[in-house]
Structure 1
Amino acid sequence: MLGRLFFLFTAMTLIEVYVLMSIGSLLGAELTIGIIILTALAGSYLVRSQGVQTVQKLQARLAAGEAPGQEIVEGIMLLVCGVLLVTPGFVTDGLGLLVLTPQIRGRLAKAIIAQYKDRIIPQSTFTGNAQGFHYSSSHSSPFQQPPGSSHSAKNDGAIEGDFVEIDKDDNKLN
């Protein structure tokens, strides 16, 4: 894995330098630098606006009691887009703008979720109010009480637990 990352970063850097030098020799240094700064500014604006939309979608899914997996993956992808767009170069800007396109980002997010669905925690819902929290899931959970346990019949909203009182003056357990 480390070797692949090293190869990826080295190859990406070499490709980026080659493209920058080629375009710089055609357009001139000033225009090339201007285009890079312009794409960084435009990209950061677009990432910010789409990030706000993604957070709003995430909040709506949470309010509906649904797992926001798609929105979380898209949020991470937007973070990567921001890094790509701020990194000087045409190749990184092109990749960043490509992933910034909502349709492409949505499809990539779905593909990533499908690829790693076995490693993701089963979708579940946690709701809470003044009476306490409620857990529901379509899958069994290691946190659920076993059948026949003394706590499984209770559903009065109380949370049972043990406590230890500490005397503040001499820090001794009582």
Structure 2
Amino acid sequence: MMMRKRLWLLLLLIPLAELYGFIWVSHWIGAGKTILLIILTTLIGAAMMQFEGRKVIADAKHEMNRGQVPGRKMLDGLCVFFGGSLLLIPGFLTDIIGFTLVFPLTRALYRRFLLKWLEKKMKNGSITFRRF
């Protein structure tokens, strides 16, 4: 129940923050340049997502071929997927978060957070893994 409230709050606050960002940047550099900047960040983000996504998949395949579990690469893949999705949404806030998720140097911060979150969920039994 609490998670739904948080989701609704995010669905309300994120567009408001993006709208504020559009207005602020358009006052600063002009409306035309703001629209061009949004289109440019979307295109650059889509290209980064493709490049990094292919790299993560290739690295995961390489680890599996060596008989290793590609756990870190799976988390990287999640970060690239969510970051790329955020980059496709027009807005400056979502672009900043999306770029940091896709960019390898900053992705490590999110990966560390995700790993700790997964460990916590597995310890308290919220997430279980079953063999088929």
Aligned length: 124
Gaps of 5+ in 2: none
How far the C-alpha of 1:49 sits from its partner, in A, is 0.5
* Cross-structure match for 2:103: 101
How far the C-alpha of 1:19 sits from its partner, in A, is 0.9
Bigger Rg over Cα: 1
What TM-score results when the alignment is normalised by the length of structure 2? 0.85
* Cross-structure match for 1:4: 6
Query: Greater RCO between the two (CA within 8 Å, min separation 6)?
Result: 2
CA distance in 2, matches of 1:112, 1:51: 18
* Cross-structure match for 1:60: 62
How far the C-alpha of 1:59 sits from its partner, in A, is 0.3
What TM-score results when the alignment is normalised by the length of structure 1? 0.65
Structure ranking higher in helix proportion: 2
Which residues of 2 match residues 63-142 of structure 1 at below 5 A? 63-117=65-119, 118=122, 119=127, 121=129
Moved over 6 A (4+): none
How far the C-alpha of 1:47 sits from its partner, in A, is 0.9
The one of 11, 19, 22 aligned to 2:21 = 19
C-alpha contact 1:81 1:97 (8 A) present in aligned 2: yes
C-alpha contact 2:82 2:101 (8 A) present in aligned 1: no
Give the alignment's Cα RMSD to 1 decimal.
1.8
Structure ranking higher in strand proportion: 1
Identity of aligned residues (%): 27
